[in-house]
Structure 1
Amino acid sequence: DSLAPFVAGGFPSLGISGGGSTGNLSFGLQPYWHGTERFVVWLADSGGTERGGSNVSAPQEFNLTVLPVNNAPTFELAAPSVPVLEGSGRTSVLLVVNISRGSPTGNEDEQNLTFFVARVADGAANLTGELPSVVLNPDGKTANLSFVAQPYWYGVDTWVLTLEDSGGVESGGGDASAAQ
């Protein structure tokens, strides 16, 4: 007799297949899906039900739980450099665009975002008297760079920007963007 597995239940985001006598069940997840789904499985053989027999096993139930994983935020620079005039004082310019909190499904939209700015020690002049800051704009998709240009200084200063969210790194998730 040949055996055929049957599965009932499940979420449409799961594609399920099984076969043979190994008892293995494989599935594929839709991107960004997480949660718990209940399944019922049973086997049917090709022996038929003649003389009052049964060709179906007793159903077995199980739950499949997929844990959520935090996705790192991303962003793009509006421009690779910010030109300012020597001694121009406090400056605020649009620097960051296309901010994503991680997941396109919106399940990470409540996370807090924080930008970190670090000076690259490459021998360049320290053109700002204080550490520049990057502040998220009310639209949540852009951010401005704010700094004070020191008087009588000119040249090139290089900074690296990263973005972190409050989602953590449990279960292999990510909470920091690539440095730019």
Structure 2
Amino acid sequence: IDDASGNLTFALREGWYGDLLVRVDAVDDGGTDNGGIDSFSSPSFWIRVSFANVAPSIRLSTANVEAEQNSGFGEIPGFVVVDSLGGPNEPNQTVEFDVAFVGGDNDLFAAGPLNQPLVDAAGALSFGLADNRFGTANFTVTARDSLGTDNGGVDTSEALLFSITIVFANQPPQFQLPSLVATVAEGSSAIITGFATNIQSGPTGARAEELSQDVSFFVELNPGIAYPHHSEGEWPVGFDALPAVSADGTLTVALSPSADFFGFFPLRVWAQDSGGGANDASDKVNFTLDVTPVNDPPTFAIAGP
């Protein structure tokens, strides 16, 4: 208290609040001789310091999260760490985390609120990936406590920025065979258009980076079949060239005109894209090459005298 003005001043201790009962005593320098009175005490009064919430303080275990394309559901325990719930003497409170998208690729996550990036009460980050998507999405996360904003309090932490990057993983090419039997006449050649159809370098709905890859086809003998007139490591006798499928799905077969053979030849075909990696090849599809017989003219010889 200022002696001259009577003004009361005080400094508050950070983080503390409550009620304090005080009294003011005044003493002059005139003494108490001859029954004098040199002091006076005021009635007691209260100083009330109202509670004002202090925002929680948080940090991230990492600001850059990575997951592989088509890896499904991702979870990172301890992603958000709460360093402080606020002031040192705050009442019991709960904390929730709010995640907000702020930029980048907004199609990386599957439909539904539980698949969007979330942080649970324990600070674990979770998300569910959409199929065949890759790229980077940027988010902010804030912590919000349950003590409100009365008396100028603050219940929400500073927003922290983080990113989720879904790393491209090549997907196998796709195709269909409208017929599992290709027919060619004995000793002839054939070009069969539309042998393979619906050719894609990745799954339907994938991004342009996936679907713009080149696709090549390969035809091979079925290792579980014993072929006639066939030596290990070679094609059966009667083929002038390997059966081949072009990028547009056309099958080309060249048989030797001089070879006298026909029948069913089980083969298999598969596709490979130019995206590389361990997942660049389709499943192998079995089909049958049906070499149909062509009647040969009779032969004879005239016996000598």
Shared fold (TM-score greater than 0.5)?
Answer: yes
CA distance in 1, matches of 2:135, 2:154: 35
2:18 counterpart residue number: none
CA distance in 1, matches of 2:226, 2:152: 89
CA distance in 2, matches of 1:62, 1:136: 43
Corresponding letter in the other structure for 1:85: A
Corresponding letter in the other structure for 2:218: F
- Tell me by how many angstroms 1:129 deviates: 2.5
Question: Is residue 104 of structure 2 the alignment partner of residue 3 of structure 1?
Answer: no
Larger of the two Rg values belongs to structure: 2
Indicate the SS of the match to 1:51.
helix
Task: Name the CA shift for 1:29/1:120 in 2 (closer, same or farther; >3 Å).
Answer: closer
Question: Is residue 234 of structure 2 the alignment partner of residue 131 of structure 1?
Answer: no
Corresponding letter in the other structure for 1:128: F
2:282 counterpart residue number: 177
Question: Is residue 207 of structure 2 the alignment partner of residue 102 of structure 1?
Answer: no
Question: Is residue 157 of structure 2 the alignment partner of residue 157 of structure 1?
Answer: no
For normalisation by structure 2, the TM-score amounts to: 0.52
Indicate the SS of the match to 2:175.
strand
CA distance in 2, matches of 1:163, 1:156: 23
In structure 2, stretches of 5+ residues that fail to align are 1-92, 110-115, 229-235, 286-305
Moved segments of 4+, more than 4 Å? none
Indicate the SS of the match to 1:84.
strand
Contact 1:18-1:25 at 8 Å conserved across structures: yes
Indicate the SS of the match to 1:108.
helix
May I ask how many residue pairs the two structures share in their alignment? 170
CA distance in 2, matches of 1:123, 1:129: 20
2:176 counterpart residue number: 76
In structure 1, stretches of 5+ residues that fail to align are 138-142
Corresponding letter in the other structure for 2:281: A
Alpha-carbon displacement from aligned partner over 1:29-81 (angstroms, at most 9, x marks no partner)? 22222111111111111112233332111221111111111110011112111
Identity %: 29
RMSD: 1.8
Query: Which of residues 142, 147, 153 in structure 2 aligns to 1:47?
Result: 147
Contact 2:272-2:282 at 8 Å conserved across structures: yes
- Tell me by how many angstroms 1:109 deviates: 2.8
CA distance in 2, matches of 1:12, 1:81: 45
Indicate the SS of the match to 2:253.
strand
5 Å matches for 1:108-147? 108-121=210-223, 122-125=225-228, 126=236, 127-137=238-248, 143-147=249-253
CA distance in 1, matches of 2:134, 2:280: 18
CA distance in 1, matches of 2:132, 2:211: 14
Corresponding letter in the other structure for 1:132: P
Query: Which of residues 167, 173, 177 in structure 1 aligns to 2:275?
Result: 167
- Tell me by how many angstroms 1:107 deviates: 2.8
